[in-house]
Amino acid sequence: MSQKVLLVDDVNMFLDLMKGFLKLSSVHVLTANDGAKALEIARKESPSLVFMDLRMPNMNGDECCALFKADPALSNIPVIMLTADGKEEDRILSIKAGCDDCLTKPIDRNLFLDKARHYIPSIDRRDKRTPCAAKVKFRVFGITLTGDVVNMSEHGIYVAATCMVEIGTTLDLVFALPDGKGSVVQTKGRVSWVNGGNARQKGSLPEGFGVEFIAMTEESAVAVRAFMTGAG
């Protein structure tokens, strides 16, 4: 039987985002829009892990987390609190409520999955990838360069290019999807792995690097999802 993950947030966009992160994992995803509903679901379904937003209507995450930890039937369920980036008072409030860990918004996919795998090792970080032949312009260190998109997922692309970049480098990316509509993707990206020089990992791919999308516009995200759905 697959393990259950409960996602708690009053904003559906964040629930959809987290569900997307988990879609290739063999877990059953439950959702709630406030703390009261989260308690009701947890008592009925006994999830293996909870991701909970701190700021919600009706019952905030810290109050709900404290009730989790005070209930013998729920106290052993790990609760990861979602807090506002840079707000130390939110982190302190979450810790006082007894949460097991914190994750800041905007939610980083890799950090989300890393924290989830700490409690559920079967969580899968892989993405469905599809070939995508497109020219890409990327700006790094004040210089605009070009490369070729070789493949992509909903969360990133592989860029064939001979320039040297380091893991963690942030890029501004622009490329047109080969979707017959001329949809243009504009987003920031972060170099997640390098496949060139002494760091060549996959000989089946041309020299280049993998990029994870960050701070993508909603319009671009919709276009990427549509392309991936059509390609599947």
Structure tokens at 153: 């997922």
Q: What is the pLDDT of residue 71?
A: 97
Residue 171 contacts residue 138 (beta carbons within 8 Å): yes
Domains and CATH numbers, the chain: 3-119 (3.40.50.2300), 130-231 (2.40.10.220)
Q: Smallest Cα–Cα separation from 9: which of 79, 82, 62, 74?
A: 82
The predicted-structure confidence for 133-166, as pLDDT tens digits, reads as follows 999 999 998 999 999 999 998 889 999 998 888 8
- pLDDT of residue 1 exceeding 80: no
Q: Smallest Cα–Cα separation from 35: which of 12, 55, 14?
A: 55
Q: What is the pLDDT of residue 23?
A: 83
Q: What is the rounded CA–CA span in Å between residue 80 and residue 51?
A: 5
Mean pLDDT of the chain: 90
**167: which DSSP letter?**
T
Q: What is the rounded CA–CA span in Å between residue 134 and residue 174?
A: 10
Residue 68 contacts residue 74 (beta carbons within 8 Å): yes
What number of residues does the chain have? 232
- pLDDT of residue 102 exceeding 90: yes
Q: What is the pLDDT of residue 182?
A: 87
Burial tier of 182 (Cβ tally within 10 Å: 0-12, 13-18, 19+): exposed
Q: What is the rounded CA–CA span in Å between residue 53 and residue 132?
A: 35
**113: which DSSP letter?**
H
- B/e letters for 63-76, b = 16+ CB within 10 Å, e = fewer, are bbbbbbbeeeebee
Query: Strand pairing of 3-8 and 27-32?
Result: parallel
176 band by pLDDT with thresholds 50, 70 and 90: very high
Structure tokens at 28: 């059953």
Q: Smallest Cα–Cα separation from 179: which of 209, 205, 155, 149?
A: 149
Q: What is the rounded CA–CA span in Å between residue 57 and residue 216?
A: 27
Highest mean pLDDT among 15-24, 31-40, 175-184: 31-40
